[in-house]
Amino acid sequence: MTRLILASASIARATLLRSAGVSFEVLPAGIDEDAIKEGLQAEAARPRGIAAALAERKALQVSSARPDALVIGADQTLDFDGELLSKSAAMDAVRLQLLSLRGRSHTLATAAVMARDGVVVWRLVTDATLWMRDFSDSFLDDYIACEGDALLDLVGGYRLEGLGAQLFRRIDGDYFSVLGLPLIAVLSALRDYGGLRQ
């Protein structure tokens, strides 16, 4: 089988792949995501396109250095009324972001790209729409206290596989994609490109 590399430092993505029995190496791409996002936004790119571009850059960056491997790049963006929301830099910013999302919907775009020999061989972008419930201020305070600084690493300030599930009243879309990787589609593509047994 082809050697497989995940070009991402995401613990959630690595956990999804490992839980599905996939053997791989983690080698983060080390790209300047903020600079790339700023450049793409200056060109009027939408959040969905930004997720796709970042996933592709990650995959190609690592694939160029490791042409012997099949490389997975992935990224996710949050579109809130056409505005790109990113990870918060401080806990008070997490609180404000969650308050702005409270009682409203937003869209997560999750992109996955596979590259080999510095060339993209497969790509997918999925969308999920999530509706936050109108939670109380006291619930929000308890949630932030319980989750702590881990929320700074999460787009939107929530982790659906944890207490963050209680923030929502409805989700339309693929659960795995919300977690950060369209797992079933990725597994299928891995079989097609020699990363998994048929």
Is 152 in contact with 95 (CB distance < 8 Å)?
Answer: no
Cα-based distances in Å from 99 to 80, 93, 142, 161: 13, 10, 14, 20
Instruction: Tell me, yes or no, if 75 is annotated catalytic.
Output: yes
Which residue among the candidates 32, 75, 153, 172 is catalytic per the annotation? 75
57-87 as b/e: b if 16+ CB within 10 A: bbbbbbbeebeebbbbbbbbbbbbeeebbeb
Q: How far is Cα 189 from Cα 180, in angstroms, rounded to an integer? A: 17
Whole-angstrom distance, CA of residue 109 vs CA of residue 124? 10
CA nearest neighbour of 74 among 169, 155, 198, 186: 186
Catalytic residues: 75
